[in-house]
Structure 1
Amino acid sequence: MTLRHSGVRDVIAYNWPQYAAGAATAAAAALLAPRLPRALRPLARTGSVAALTLLCTATAASWHVYDRSGLYTYDWLEDLLPRIPSAYVVVSTGLDEVSAPLAARWPKAQRTAIDLYDPALTSERSLRRARRRVPPPAHAAPGRPETLPHPANSADTVLLVFAAHELRRAQDRERLFTECARLLRPGGTLLVAEHLRDAANTAVFGPGAWHFLPRQEWLRLAAHAGLEHSAERRFAGLIAAFAFSKDRK
């Protein structure tokens, strides 16, 4: 059972300027085509069709991932975590849709939420719109990538779900992963779920896929923090969920 009540509607609500721009581009190209020289008309019509196609594929992909893939049931956590955590930390960068479902899923576990939202670090306007619609949990503590307000060696699991890519500077992501590793107990797991900058995401999201990061970047960040890549799972061919483990020594 999922506590998430939306899906593709959220994506459209958070990113409506991009949807509006795409629709306007398609309409403008279609209206302009008859007024152009004959040689340019096919190009304008092709541009109109391409813009509409991209809107449709992006919307369909979002619906498939967020409403149909089972991503937000969190049943897949059992495949990536060695055990139910007794203490876990959810780190978000402005939008926390993880804390509430996990509190219901792991009611006996000690939970902590840390909010890294800072317009200077996370510049996407879609995050600001999302934050207005879904305020952070009342118990969330503010933090910085280099300073997570939580004791060292105190969590079985730290979760970064659609969060770390919003830190656009590599050094901020490196600091965040290092801090997540500090929070983990020996044998603990950092769980990262993200879209990837790859062929599949580019095919359905077009230029928007460049906001995501390549798979190799997540592996690099984990290695930088001294974590081992222990498991991985894909959703709908577009989402990767990684489990990175801390050495038991």
Structure 2
Amino acid sequence: MNTPTTTPPPPRPSGAREVLAYNWPLYTGGLSAVTAGLALAPRLPRVPAALARTGALAAAALLIGSTAACWWVYDRSELYSLDWLTGLLPDGPGDHLLISTGLDETSHPLALRHPGTAQTVVDLYDPALTTEGSVRRARRRVPPRPGTLPGSPARLPVATGSRDTVFAVFAAHELRLARDREALFAEITRTLRPGGTLVLVEHLRDRANTAAFGPGAWHFLPRREWLRLARGAGLHPVTETRIAHLVTAFTFRRSAA
């Protein structure tokens, strides 16, 4: 008698615990700064001791604040349930392309939410382009889904004008060179049907994210950069919404003409 096989469920989306694991060198450095500041302060003259304590407390506040922000966004918000998507795409995504750069945690919930649509996933991961160590560590934990196609910013293996929607969720900012981002946006426009939509989801380099993540917010890109890239690729902004106060979801549309 044959025993039916079952497909193991995908790992749960990354939360604060996984973010700590992906970025452990940064957190280790922060904890070391806290420990060193508090340990040195009693041995220093009054003014340097005050500076050491202040630095240690600032580092501790940043560690606690950024961890709390990750927990709020990734563990508690509607980010991975995709409930926010209904307001952006009331008619659904149609035939869609999802772009990742080493960590794809959106294609599975998106396929479950819209089972009648055709989905293609393209991974742009390249250690020469996506240089963050956190991406390498995340990729080891969450390998690409079966059927994921390799691609590059200048070559998405998708036919011209074949997709109703393209999703780039926490993906495009990992391309650290402007020319790579520009090439990607040009390719996105090429793959979209006339009237098609790009859904771009990113943290922004803004006041809210700087308050939450401190210097780490400089890894994100400012809003004006995403608007510049879209405009240069012939896409115009349609809607913009915030998720958990720290994530921005844009929709950009290709002209129907």
Same fold (TM over 0.5): yes
Q: Does 1:164 align with 2:172?
A: yes
Query: What per-residue deviation string (whole Å, max 9, x for no partner) do you get for residues 67-92 of structure 1?
Result: 11211110111111252133100100
Q: Does 1:115 align with 2:123?
A: yes
In the alignment, the residues of structure 1 paired with residue 166 and residue 11 of structure 2 have an alpha-carbon distance, to the nearest angstrom, of 20
CA gap of 1:143–1:112, structure 2 versus 1, over 3 A, is same
Give the match for residue 222 of structure 1. Answer: 230
Give the match for residue 51 of structure 1. Answer: 59
Residue of structure 1 aligned with 2:137, choices 125, 129, 142: 129
Match of 2:49, as an amino acid?
R
CA gap of 1:177–1:64, structure 2 versus 1, over 3 A, is same
Query: What per-residue deviation string (whole Å, max 9, x for no partner) do you get for residues 202-244 of structure 1?
Result: 1111110000000010011100110010001002221110000
* Alpha-carbon contact 2:13-2:105 (below 8 Å) kept: no
* Alpha-carbon contact 1:4-1:72 (below 8 Å) kept: no
* Alpha-carbon contact 1:114-1:140 (below 8 Å) kept: yes
Q: Does 1:206 align with 2:202?
A: no
Match of 2:173, as an amino acid?
H
Match of 1:45, as an amino acid?
R
Question: Once superposed, what is the RMSD of the aligned Cα atoms?
Answer: 1.3
Secondary structure of the 1:157 match is: strand
Residue of structure 2 aligned with 1:96, choices 99, 104, 110: 104
In the alignment, the residues of structure 2 paired with residue 6 and residue 226 of structure 1 have an alpha-carbon distance, to the nearest angstrom, of 33
Give the match for residue 242 of structure 2. Answer: 234
Give the match for residue 162 of structure 2. Answer: 154
Give the match for residue 27 of structure 2. Answer: 19
Q: Does 1:62 align with 2:70?
A: yes
In the alignment, the residues of structure 1 paired with residue 197 and residue 90 of structure 2 have an alpha-carbon distance, to the nearest angstrom, of 8
* Alpha-carbon contact 1:66-1:72 (below 8 Å) kept: yes
* Alpha-carbon contact 1:3-1:101 (below 8 Å) kept: no
Deviation at 1:5?
4.7
Query: What per-residue deviation string (whole Å, max 9, x for no partner) do you get for residues 102-123 of structure 1?
Result: 1111111111000000011010
TM-score, length of structure 1 as denominator length: 0.97
Match of 1:110, as an amino acid?
A
CA gap of 1:195–1:133, structure 2 versus 1, over 3 A, is same
Query: What per-residue deviation string (whole Å, max 9, x for no partner) do you get for residues 129-174 of structure 1?
Result: 0000000112111101010000011111100000000000001000
Say which is worse superposed, 73-82 or 28-37, in terms of deviation: 73-82
Give the match for residue 31 of structure 1. Answer: 39
Misfit runs of 4+, over 6 Å:
none
Task: Determine what percentage of the aligned residue pairs are the same residue.
Answer: 59
TM-score, length of structure 2 as denominator length: 0.94
Q: Unmatched 5+ residue regions in structure 1?
A: none
Q: Unmatched 5+ residue regions in structure 2?
A: 1-9
Q: How many residues align?
A: 248
In the alignment, the residues of structure 2 paired with residue 223 and residue 58 of structure 1 have an alpha-carbon distance, to the nearest angstrom, of 32
